[in-house]
A = this chain, B = another copy of it.
Amino acid sequence: MDSAEDTVDGYRPWSEVTPDAARRLLVAAVEAFAERGYHATTTRDIAGRAGMSPAALYIHYKTKEELLHRISRIGHDKALDILTTAADGSGCAAERLDAAVRSFVRWHAAHHTTARVVQYELDALAPEHRSEIVTLRRQSDAAVRRILTDGVAAGEFDVPDVPGTTLAVLSLCIDVARWFSVAGQRTPDEVGALYADLVLRMVGARPRPQK
């Protein structure tokens, strides 16, 4: 249903999942999990959306939880990649923070179906898979914190509580996945721009630091 997701940011999602049948099942699972939640989704529903019989799922995945894990892993990898690319880029702290928030939010809005599963179904993962994902999330936190610390050190930002503000910034971005709707009047680009502006205000960024 969400075919608009197929070609965003010039990359084809789930292209890393092969063979074709496994990818179709995974895409079906993303849609179903996002719509009804992991626990409310049945394996029959997933297989049905992919145009297959219930048993076909178990040729490509051992359990329903493995499907969620694969989705969560790929999604977190992508989200972390977007964030660290911006965080480790060139430019002053304000520019990097702007880029990080803008692209992170744009991804959460454009891929809100995937993002919803990735961000809100963490508790449904098996303990060992959950801790693997939590490690990735800590890296996201570190990336944002790095920008804030740099900005404070350079005198660009005024942030009394760096860990708390880091948490708030990430929380703000992530929650986009919950409320964003294609039926709404904002495009992912617009939300990204709005949020980048709001976050720069939150950190007290000076228009031009020392020029």
Contacts and interface: CB of A to CB of B under 8 A. Distances in A.
Interface of A: 36-37, 39-40, 120, 123-124, 160-161, 164-165, 167-168, 171-172, 174-176, 178-179, 186, 191, 194-195, 197-198, 201-202, 204
B171 A176 contact: yes
Contacts of A175: 171-172, 174-175, 178
A197 B202 CA distance: 8
Identical copies of this chain, number: 2
A195 B172 contact: no
Given A167-B179, A171-B178, A175-B172, A123 B37 contact: yes
Nearest to A160: B197
Nearest to A122: B178
A194 B164 contact: yes
B194 A36 contact: no
Contact of A168 (B36, B40, B172, B174): B172
Contact of A40 (B36, B120, B124): B124
A191 B167 CA distance: 11
Contacts of A195: 168
Contact of A36 (B123, B164, B201, B202): B123
Given A171-B178, A171-B179, 18 more contacts: A36-B123, A37-B37, A37-B123, A37-B124, A39-B39, A160-B197, A161-B194, A164-B191, A164-B194, A165-B198, A168-B172, A171-B172, A171-B176, A174-B175, A175-B175, A175-B178, A198-B202, A201-B204
